[in-house]
């Protein structure tokens, strides 16, 4: 019996005494997707790939669109969870949360109720890059060019990454420039939510404030 059939069976069993959301919670519990303690506390387990993220710094919450088993849903991160979302949750990752259901989406407050991991299927190979946003890439550092300030006063650092076949310039902007002094040739660089541009027929990757950059040291 698939999940939707199980939901229907539970609804028929209770004869209109529960709504569909409660039936889904019970179906998830019966399938082992929910911890019974979580169900009693009213938590819903949401898991899926992050499609979009918007940070509201003035109100201190982060809204994340997730492709989940329930379809595309919004998850709102507050308090401790807000700090986790700002630091670690970016398009291209897989997020799992224990959240409370509301009219506008799902809400999570505790950092303990958030788990994030990389989604390998979200990465685009360097040879397949095209101009656009929300791109996830990874590669080894093959060259380090330097740091400078642009005419409009923005800080920028340039390096080159490769997957062994294709070489592409990676430009670090604004706060991501701080990573430049820690990067060495051979290190692996993972960039999520990057922008890709084309200039003079050459592709470039841009990582700024809305991007996630992780540097993994080359072990010798």
- Provide the pLDDT confidence category of residue 24 given band limits of 50, 70 and 90: low
Structural domain total, the chain: 2
pTM for this model (two decimals)? 0.66
Q: With 90 as the cut, is the pLDDT of residue 97 above it?
A: yes
Q: With 60 as the cut, is the pLDDT of residue 28 above it?
A: no
CATH number for the domain including 30?
A: 2.40.50.140
Q: Give the per-residue pLDDT at 17.
A: 66
Within 8 A by CB and 6+ apart from 120, the residues are: none
Token pair 């390998």 is found at: 120
Residues 19, 53, single domain; the answer is yes
Residues 7, 84, single domain; the answer is yes
Residues 72, 138, single domain; the answer is no
Structural domain that includes position 153? 123-216
Domain boundary among 72, 90, 120: 120
Question: pLDDT by residue (tens digit) across 98-152?
Answer: 998 877 789 999 999 999 998 888 899 999 999 999 899 999 999 999 999 999 9
Q: Give the per-residue pLDDT at 189.
A: 95
Helix (H, G, I), strand (E, B) or coil at 174: helix
Residues 139, 98, single domain; the answer is no
Helix (H, G, I), strand (E, B) or coil at 135: strand
The burial of 179, by beta-carbon neighbours within 10 Å (0-12 exposed, 13-18 middle, 19 or more buried), is given as: middle
């Amino acid at each position: 019996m698939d999940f939707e059939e199980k939901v229907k069976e539970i609804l028929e069993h209770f004869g209109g005494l529960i709504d569909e959301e409660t039936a889904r919670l019970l179906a998830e519990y019966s399938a082992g997707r929910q911890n019974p303690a979580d169900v009693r506390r009213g938590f819903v387990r949401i898991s899926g790939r992050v499609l979009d993220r918007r940070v509201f710094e003035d109100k201190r919450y982060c809204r994340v669109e997730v492709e989940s088993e329930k379809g595309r849903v919004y998850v709102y991160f507050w308090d401790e969870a807000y700090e986790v979302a700002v630091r670690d949750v970016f398009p291209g990752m897989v997020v799992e949360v224990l959240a409370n259901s509301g009219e506008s989406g799902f809400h999570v407050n505790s950092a303990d109720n958030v788990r994030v991991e990389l989604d390998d299927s979200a990465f685009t190979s360097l040879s397949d890059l095209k101009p656009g946003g929300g791109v996830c890439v990874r590669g080894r550092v093959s060259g380090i060019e330097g740091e400078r300030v642009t005419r409009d006063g923005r800080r920028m650092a340039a390096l080159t990454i490769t997957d062994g076949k294709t070489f592409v310039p990676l430009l670090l902007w604004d706060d991501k420039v701080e990573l430049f002094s820690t990067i060495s040739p051979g290190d692996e660089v993972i960039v999520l939510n990057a922008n890709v541009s084309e200039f003079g027929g050459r592709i470039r990757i841009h990582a700024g404030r809305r991007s996630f950059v992780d540097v993994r040291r080359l072990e010798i």
